[in-house]
């Protein structure tokens, strides 16, 4: 039995050292392997399978709103990047440049895309001519490169996988509607599929995307009380259109500039799943996103009839994402491995179970054991998976709400920021000077101005002047 525990003993307790716990989990659950290139990770099959499920669910949700997939080049000429001043200034510190092709120096540097706004703008300027060409609703799945100073697997890497949606519309109203619509798609996906509750709102002017008119965000709270920006949706207005001369002829035969949006989610979501749902035994995956939902584990598999029964059980559960662990490892090791990988349910079957026409179902999140008749097991597995998904979002929501604090004085703010990790709700005048002072004094940043506003007081928490909004604040990844 001691050997069986080694797998889990290798994980640092999250209460002892959360950062090390996170690193242990991504390694021991075989989600990633470190690369020889600083800040870049190799996503292993266990990790990539989660991303494939994220991709599948999001892609279907995008297409349901009329979005089509395209693919853009990974290189951006420097002259193209320079066309939108605010945009290039915002990304300049993170850009990686290609200066040579083979042995020859390039006449113009090429940027490895940190994001693809400029490429889409050039594309739109070539294909949009009339109101009949609008709207354009495009998305691409790709990787981007940002030269980060500090990196951590999934949360912040120099190269990461993502999707980036880019749309063009005839009016400002249509662009704003699409911006909010895609934010809602993101929030619904995170809550319904990933079982992670979100705060939806608008970013401050300081925190908005470079070149955007406005940026909207969904913010999640991790187990350690830090916030994670989990998805963003940007309204560009007609700023990019004017920089790239993207015009169309309207129904009155007058030239107009298009209005654009952009929105993205990344492999950072895998980090969110780990940090919201994981425990000291490893991953805990919500059933809807888990690559394997059910692991069948034979007990005393060398005894006559056990493997035959296990195979039949796997086939009976084929409507779920099910696997059979028929390796020669001990049952205890298999249990630890299944828990480490976060597989929602394990189903144990051995000689005594066969004799009683039953199996034992164990939930990963609560470790609750249920003895179920083989005649009812298919329906029962479905019920348990549904209940587990529901319980996980409820637990995450309770954790977030119990770690969200309301303050009305700066003294309260500083004390809460120092002693209680989590979200802080406070009134703000929306002046950037106050935003900077709050960060300097407490180490927290504005996360968003939520759509669901509350009136805590009339005064800004920092300067005491009339408040214009209630904002969420917190330390963030």
DSSP 150-215: S-BTTTB-SEEEEEEEEEEESSHHHHHHHHHHHHHHHHHHHHHTS----EEEE--TTTSPTT-SEE
Query: Is there a single domain that holds both residue 300 and residue 270?
Result: no
Query: Is there a single domain that holds both residue 144 and residue 196?
Result: yes
**Is 389 part of any domain?**
no
Domain CATH code at residue 367: 3.40.50.800
Query: Is there a single domain that holds both residue 247 and residue 299?
Result: no
* CA angle (307, 312, 317) in 5-degree steps: 125
**Is 28 part of any domain?**
yes
What is the reported pTM? 0.95
Instruction: Tally the domains of the chain.
Output: 3
**Is 397 part of any domain?**
no
Domain CATH code at residue 438: 3.30.110.30
Token pair for 115: 């994001």
Amino acid 7: pLDDT: 52
Short-list 273, 242, 275, 274, CA closest to 259: 242
**Is 284 part of any domain?**
no
Amino acid 6: pLDDT: 52
Q: What is the mean pLDDT of each successive set of 10 residues along the chain, which is 477 residues long?
A: 52 95 96 95 98 98 98 96 79 91 97 95 98 98 94 96 98 98 98 98 95 96 98 97 97 98 98 98 98 98 96 98 96 95 98 97 97 98 98 98 98 97 98 97 97 97 98 97
Query: Do 450 and 475 touch, CB atoms closer than 8 A?
Result: no
Which domain-ending residue is among 252, 277, 302? Answer: 277
Amino acid 8: pLDDT: 52
Short-list 24, 3, 4, 2, CA closest to 12: 24
Query: Is there a single domain that holds both residue 119 and residue 182?
Result: yes
**Is 206 part of any domain?**
yes
Domain CATH code at residue 260: 3.30.930.10
Query: Is there a single domain that holds both residue 32 and residue 120?
Result: yes
Query: Is there a single domain that holds both residue 315 and residue 444?
Result: no
d(CA 469, CA 240): 28
Token pair for 106: 């390039």
Range of the domain at 418: 404-474
**Is 1 part of any domain?**
no
Amino acid 89: pLDDT: 80
Query: Is there a single domain that holds both residue 310 and residue 206?
Result: no
DSSP 376-402: THHHHHHHHHHHHHHHHHHHHHHHHHH
DSSP 8-state assignment for residue 132:
G
Query: Is there a single domain that holds both residue 191 and residue 265?
Result: yes
């Amino acid at each position: 039995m001691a050997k069986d525990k080694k797998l889990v003993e290798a994980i640092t307790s999250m209460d002892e050292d959360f950062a090390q716990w996170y690193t242990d989990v991504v390694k021991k659950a075989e989600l990633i392997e470190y690369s020889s290139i600083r800040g870049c990770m190799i996503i292993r099959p266990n990790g990539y399978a989660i991303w494939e499920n994220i991709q599948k669910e999001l892609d279907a949700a995008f297409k349901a709103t009329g979005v089509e997939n395209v693919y853009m080049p990974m290189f951006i000429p420097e002259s193209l990047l320079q066309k939108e001043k605010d945009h290039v200034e915002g990304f300049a510190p993170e850009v990686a440049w290609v200066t040579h092709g083979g042995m020859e120096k390039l006449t113009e540097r090429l940027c490895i895309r940190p994001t693809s706004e400029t490429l889409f703008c050039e594309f739109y300027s070539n294909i949009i001519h009339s109101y009949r060409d609008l709207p354009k609703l495009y998305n691409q799945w790709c990787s981007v490169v940002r030269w980060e100073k500090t990196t951590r697997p999934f949360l912040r890497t120099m190269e990461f996988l993502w999707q980036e949606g880019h749309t063009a519309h005839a009016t400002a109203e249509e662009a704003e509607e699409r911006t909010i619509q895609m934010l809602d798609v993101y929030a619904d996906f995170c809550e319904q599929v990933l079982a992670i509750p979100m705060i939806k709102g608008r970013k401050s002017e300081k925190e908005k995307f470079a070149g955007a008119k406005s940026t909207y965000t969904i913010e999640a709270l991790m187990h350690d009380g830090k916030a994670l920006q989990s998805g963003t949706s940007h309204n560009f207005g007609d700023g990019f259109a004017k920089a790239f001369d993207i015009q169309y002829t309207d129904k009155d035969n007058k030239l107009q500039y298009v209005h654009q949006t952009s929105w993205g989610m990344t492999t950072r979501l895998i980090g969110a799943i780990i940090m919201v749902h994981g425990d000291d035994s490893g991953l805990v995956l919500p059933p809807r996103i888990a690559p394997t939902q059910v692991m069948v584990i034979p007990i005393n598999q060398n005894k006559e009839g056990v493997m035959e029964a296990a195979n039949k059980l796997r086939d009976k559960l084929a409507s779920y994402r099910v696997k059979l662990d028929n390796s020669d490892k001990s049952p205890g090791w298999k249990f630890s491995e299944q828990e480490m990988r976060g597989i929602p349910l394990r189903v144990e079957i051995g000689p005594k179970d066969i004799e009683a026409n039953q199996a034992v179902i164990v939930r990963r999140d609560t470790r609750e054991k249920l003895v179920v008749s083989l005649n009812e097991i298919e329906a029962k597995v479905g019920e348990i998976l549904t209940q587990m998904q529901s319980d996980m979002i409820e637990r995450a929501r309770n954790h977030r709400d119990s770690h969200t604090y309301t303050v009305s004085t700066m003294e309260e703010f500083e004390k809460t920021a120092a002693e209680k990790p989590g979200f802080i709700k406070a009134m703000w005048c929306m002046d950037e000077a106050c935003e900077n002072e709050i960060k300097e004094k407490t180490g927290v940043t504005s996360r968003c101005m939520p759509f669901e506003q509350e009136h805590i007081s009339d005064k800004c928490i920092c300067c005491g002047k009339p408040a214009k909004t209630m904002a969420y604040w917190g330390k963030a990844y």
